[in-house]
Structure formats: structure tokens, C-alpha cells
Chain A
Amino acid sequence: MATVKSISINSLSPKLLDMGLFPGKEIRVVFKAPFGDPIAVDVEGYILSLRKDEASLVEVA
């Protein structure tokens, strides 16, 4: 379990925010696709799939 600290600025960051990833959210990696990319992240009850480069924009504390 980790808390989202910030979302880095990038052309993809609005997409992450739209999908409910914003500072303060509790997130957790639940499973991964073969080759480790994309990953599935539990965001307080629903599951988001994120490619590695998308996930790397999410800074957690």
C-alpha cells in the first residue's frame, strides 16, 4: 500500500488524473501482465491498468 504524492507533468498526466489518480489516493500493485508491463494497480477499490511509462509518472510516498 502506498499513497500518491504527486503526478509528474507530462502529456499523459491529465489522463492519469481523469482516471482518478491524484495526490492522497491509496494505491497498490495487484498483478502484472507477462513481461511485467503493463501493471494492474488497485486504486481504493477499482483496478487500473498502467503501462510502465505511465506508472512512472506517479510518485508515491
Chain B
Amino acid sequence: MKVALVGNPNSGKTSIFNHLTGLNQRVGNYPGITVDKKTGVFRYHDNPPITLIDLPGIYSLYPKSRDEEVVLQVLSSKEGEDYPDMVIVVVDASNLERNMLLFTQVYDLGLPTILVLNMVDVARKNGITINHEKIRELFHGTPVFQVIARTGEGMEAVKEEIVKPRAAKVVIPFLEGEFIDCQPATDETEVQKNYVEERYRKIRQYLGFAVKKETIPSSMAEKHRKADKILTHPVFGYLFFVAILFMIFQAIYAWAEWPMDLIDTIFLSLSQLAKESLPDGVFTRLLAEGIIPGLGGVLIFIPQIALLFTFIFILEETGYMSRVVFIMDRLMRPFGLNGKSVVPLISGVACAIPAVMATRTIDNWKERLITIMVTPLMSCSARLPVYTLLIALVIPDEYVGPFNLKGLALMGLYLIGLFASLLAALVFKWIVKSKQKSFLVMELPLYKMPRWNSLVITIWEKIRLFVFEAGKIIMAISIILWVLASYGPGDRMNTAVAKLDKPQTQEGYEAYEKQVASVRLANSYIGIIGKSIEPAIAPLGYNWQIGIALVTSFAAREVFVGSMATIYSVGEDFEENATLMVRMRNEKHPGTGLPVYTLATGISLMLFYAFAMQCMSTLAIVLRETKSWKWPAIQLLYMTTLAYLFAWLAFTLLK
């Protein structure tokens, strides 16, 4: 048996879904569209398990967005695989009139329907008393329940009702003629509007019999309005938002670092362990150097994803998020974005992966797509080690007035990321076509404490989405990259290694091992690719060594530093041990004898990393979120083009 859950966003529908299914949930796809299908299994005593489908939150059945299309399609296609045997409509009891619109529409589709009035505690606080028996009577015996999903109050009766056997009965529609054969009878806006207005009139009349409303002292509402006046104030509103952001990023940098280091260490030891305990061979190397580090490379994102979504959860649950959207909307609109794009964009400063995942709250597809396309231009934390190395290498330690040049350069790179994403948004606004009109008719909910019980499920869902869906692609690419970096054509690698002088002393052995790694990389397939793109990147001021690092950085940007260290056979820790810096500073062009890492090349490289899409994990998550190869391909192409152009421009002007 299948049961579908339908309700307005914010009606607590998902709380009820979580309550009924616990962690027993699955995310799947509706064929051909980007809306996720959430299903779960509901078990009650000895009854056979029931499949619950959590349909997207919507306000009415008229298909204006993809979410609404999905719901109408599921509820109207009798032959469809998701066609439910019963529908549970969840409504917010404190806002009954508006919520009942969707209920009456679903009711008219003729499916067995249960009405669940959620958040009756809030309704009571607002002086609203509901006679649910009366509603039951008015809707010809439809089961009606009053619950508080947050505490679970009243849910037992709902569970019993779900498993109860039901006899088919003829439904007398609430409004005659609007839905024929489960489809809206008209697609003309004006006629639809008349139907909806007629519905509301009737709902008002019905609720007049079933709902008692006392006027309560408005002191509570006044308190909320006072908070609103401060949080949406032209000065304090923005200051408060900046302060909140500052705290969030402080926390992410402070708290994400040690679990990330831990994951890193664990996978390094695992890889070491595999190498030592298994017989040497292709399989062991694949496991120790390809699969284990690849897996580590996926899992390392979990701390940032979990932290960022915890903060987003708090912002959303408290009601503050919609105020951020409210004060930022006007600023974002000229760029083809909307107020809801702000949080994903800013999250991009930590990591583009959770940022792209956070665009789901944007209901307009065009605005969501633009946000996804431009977010990776924001300077993420993986660019920081690259910037730090290059700034230390080429920017002089001088002051312009009170400002340190190195500091200014780093700030400049972050600003470039911000402006580039806004300007790119402007271009995409022009290119991407959409029939859907942009709107921001949105509820500003009352401020409240977060419901912590759904935090775990929310975070788990995000982690699962990344690890199991995007993770597959990331694993595949990292194994390919490993093969390319570890093997070369024919005997080329071994021949090159054989040419090196064998060390005589114990001290010499370490240096020899580094040289071997360097020679192997240079003669691997990646090394050959790096060398063969040298003519293409020479105009940017790069040599083949940089070429190799550019290719390996596709795994993740920070790999640049490690690759540079391998290529130049030195230690990687450039902050404590300056060998990498000294080595890079002494690097000369073979023909001319001029230094390679000049100011021009350094700036050119920084700009390249600011713009280039050097992150397979982001591409994988963009593929997952847009469900099409087209968008990640366009993203890779346009960002690489920008990177090339700006790097070339900088090098040409500065050399």
C-alpha cells in the first residue's frame, strides 16, 4: 500500500513524515526532472509495511512550478507507479484558511483522504479553537486529526487511521467542475482565479462553523514585529547579518579543521597499512594509492557539509533566514538572482559543494540554475593554500600606507571572486531562458526555537546525497587521475628512474626517493599531458611543471601545492620549511635563464585559480543537482575560458 503526504511548505509535513518513518527513508528521482522523490517505510505493530511518499511542499494543485507539477502528476496518474491508495493532507492549524485551499483541491481528486491539523498548540496560543468533528461532518466523514508533530501528540490516532481498512465511497466534490478526471478543467488564469476565489469563499463559510477565534492581546505579535524592525533595518539589519556570517565562518574554520585532519590522517594510515600488509602488485597499489585516497577525498568534505547545513538549519528554523532573503532580495534582483541566492553564494566562500546543495530553497528554476552556475567563482577554502603559497612567493612584503601588500592581494582575490560571480550571473540572466516569472511571495514565519529532532535527519540526508550520489563520480575520476599519474607509456618511467644516481648514504636516500617521485610523475601520462599543454599555457607564463600541477589540481585545488612539491622533489610544508619556496624561486626558464616565478607569472596563476573550475567534486554535485551533463560542462568551459583570459591578460600586462 502507498500513502502520499501533501501539504504547504512550513506545514510541518516533513516532521510528520520523519515521525512516521524515522531514519527509514530513501531519496530517489522522478523521471526526467530535478525534483527529488522522498519515500519511507511506515511500520505499525503487525500491519504490513506501508510506503510513504513525501511529496514536495506546495500551496495549490495548479502547476506553476516543478514541485506543483510533480504533485499533480503523482495524484492524477492512476496508472503511475506512485499513484497512492490514500493521501494525508497536512495543514498548519494556525493558518487554517489558506492551508485548506490545497486540502479542498486534493479532496476533489476523489482519493481517500485524511486531514491532519498540525501545530494546534500554536493555534491555541493564537486563540484559535478548532472543532475537528465539525470539519469531519462538513467533508462527509473525512477523518480529521489534531496533532502536534513536534512532540508527537495526537500521532497515535493518525497511525491507527492509516492502517485501518477503508471502503471505497463516492466523493461529493467541494467545488463542482474545477477538477475533471483529476485534471484542472481549465488552464486560463482568469477562470482558475475565479475557481480559487470561490473555493476561499466556501472555506471561509465552512470554517465559520468549525473554528472559534478569540481576540488575544497582541503583545506577542508586537514583540515579533519589533524584532523584525531591527533585523530588517537598513543599517542594523545588514550589520546583524554580517555579524552572523562572521560567526558562522569562524565556527566552520575552527570546527571543520580537526575532523578534516582526522579523516586525512586515518586514510593516510589506511593506505600505509594496505601497502605494508598486502603483497606488492597492481591491485595493492590501486587500493592504497587510488581507492583509499579517493574515498578519503570524498569523506573529507563531510565536516564542512555537516557544519554549514547545521547553521543553515538553525537560520531556517528560527525564521531568520526569510528575513535575510527579505533584505537581500532587492540587491540581488538586478543580477538575475533572488534573495534566496544569498546564502548559497556566501556559503561558497567555505565550499562550493554544500553551497550548490543549498540552492534547493530557490523555487524559481532559472534563478536556482544561475546561482548554481556562479557559486563556484566565490573563493572557496581550497583555494586558500594555493593563494598563500603564491602570495608568499611573488608579492613583496611591503606596505601601501597602513596596508600590507600580501594582505591586500589576498583580499583582492576574494573580491574578484565575488564580483566575477555577480557579473557571470548577469550574463547567465541574459542567456538562460525561462517561462517562469520570478516572484518572492513568501511567508515570513514567527521567530521560534529550532526543532532539534529533525536536525539529524536533515544533515544525514545531505551527507548521503553527497557521498553516495556525487561520491561515485568523484571516486571514478580520482581513480582515473591516479592511473594517469602512476603509469606512463611503455617503459618510460622505469628508464627515467634508472638514470638517477643511486644514493651512497642514508641521508642521500630521502633525497633520492623524492627525485624518484618527481621523475615518475614527469614521465607519467599526466606528466606527458602537462608537457604537451606547455605551448598552450606558455602565453600565461607557465612551464610544463605548472602544467602538470594544473592537471592534477582537477582532483581538488589544494593538490597544486603537493604536486609542486613532488615535481620539485621537496617537502610540501612551505610554511614551516621553506624548501619549496626556495626551489620555486630559483627555478629558471631553460632557454633564457630568466626566473619562472616572477610577479607576472604568480599573479597570472592566482587569477587562473580564482576563475578555473578546478574541482571535480563541485562538477559532480552540479551534475546531481541539475540532473544534466549540460550544465557542469558549460560551467567547466566558461570558467576555464575566463581563467585563461584573465591569466593571459595579467601576464601580458605585467611581464
A interface vs B, CB < 8 Å?
A: 7, 9-20, 22-24, 30-35, 37-38, 40, 44-51, 54
Contacts and interface: CB of A to CB of B under 8 A. Distances in A.
Contacts of B192: 14
A44 B192 CA distance: 24
B382 interface: no
A9 B188 CA distance: 10
A11 B189 contact: yes
The 7 closest A-B pairs by CB, nearest first: A20-B98, A18-B59, A34-B234, A47-B444, A18-B60, A22-B200, A17-B196
A37 B441 contact: no
B441 A50 contact: yes
Given A48-B442, A54-B440, 5 more contacts: A9-B193, A22-B197, A24-B204, A35-B330, A51-B329
Contact of B440 (A10, A31, A50): A50
Contacts of A17: 60, 193, 196-197, 200
A18 B437 CA distance: 15
A17 B191 CA distance: 13
B214 interface: no
A13 B232 contact: no
B574 interface: no
B403 interface: no
A12 B439 contact: yes
Contacts of A49: 322, 325-326, 440-444
B6 interface: no
Given A17-B196, A22-B200, A45-B95, A11 B437 contact: yes
A9 B197 CA distance: 13
Contacts of B437: 11-12
Contacts of B97: 20, 44
Given A14-B64, A15-B64, A18-B101, A40 B327 contact: no
Interface of B: 59-60, 62, 64, 94-95, 97-98, 101, 126, 189-190, 192-193, 196-197, 200-201, 204, 225, 228-229, 232-234, 237-238, 322, 325-327, 329-330, 437, 439-445
Contacts of B204: 24
A45 B122 CA distance: 12
A33 B329 contact: yes
A19 B322 CA distance: 15
Nearest to B197: A22
Contact of B441 (A12, A23, A24, A34): A12
Contacts of A15: 64, 439, 441
A49 B328 CA distance: 12
A33 B228 contact: no
Contacts of B229: 31
Contact of B329 (A11, A18, A38): A38
Contacts of A19: 59, 98, 441, 443
A9 B196 CA distance: 13
25 contacts: A9-B193, A11-B189, A13-B193, A14-B62, A14-B64, A17-B193, A17-B197, A18-B196, A22-B197, A24-B201, A30-B228, A34-B238, A38-B326, A40-B326, A40-B444, A45-B95, A46-B98, A46-B445, A48-B442, A48-B443, A50-B440, A50-B441, A51-B329, A51-B441, A54-B440
Contacts of A32: 232
A57 to B, nearest CB: 10
A30 B229 CA distance: 9
A45 B60 CA distance: 20
B121 to A, nearest CB: 16
Given A9-B190, A14-B62, A31-B228, A47 B443 contact: yes
A6 to B, nearest CB: 9
Nearest to B95: A46
Contacts of B327: 33-34
B271 to A, nearest CB: 52
Nearest to A17: B196
Interface centre among A23, A31, A48, A49 (most CB of B within 10 A): A49
A51 B197 contact: no
Given A24-B204, A51-B440, A30 B232 contact: no
A49 B196 CA distance: 21
B189 A14 contact: yes
Contacts of A34: 232-234, 237-238, 327, 330
A19 B101 CA distance: 10
Nearest to B204: A24
Contact of A14 (B196, B234, B238, B322): B196
A12 B438 CA distance: 9
Contacts of A50: 440-441
A9 B442 contact: no
Interface centre among A14, A18, A23, A45 (most CB of B within 10 A): A18
Contacts of A11: 189, 437
Nearest to B327: A33
Nearest to B238: A34
A45 B330 CA distance: 25
Contacts of A20: 95, 97-98, 101, 200
Contacts of B439: 12, 15, 51, 54
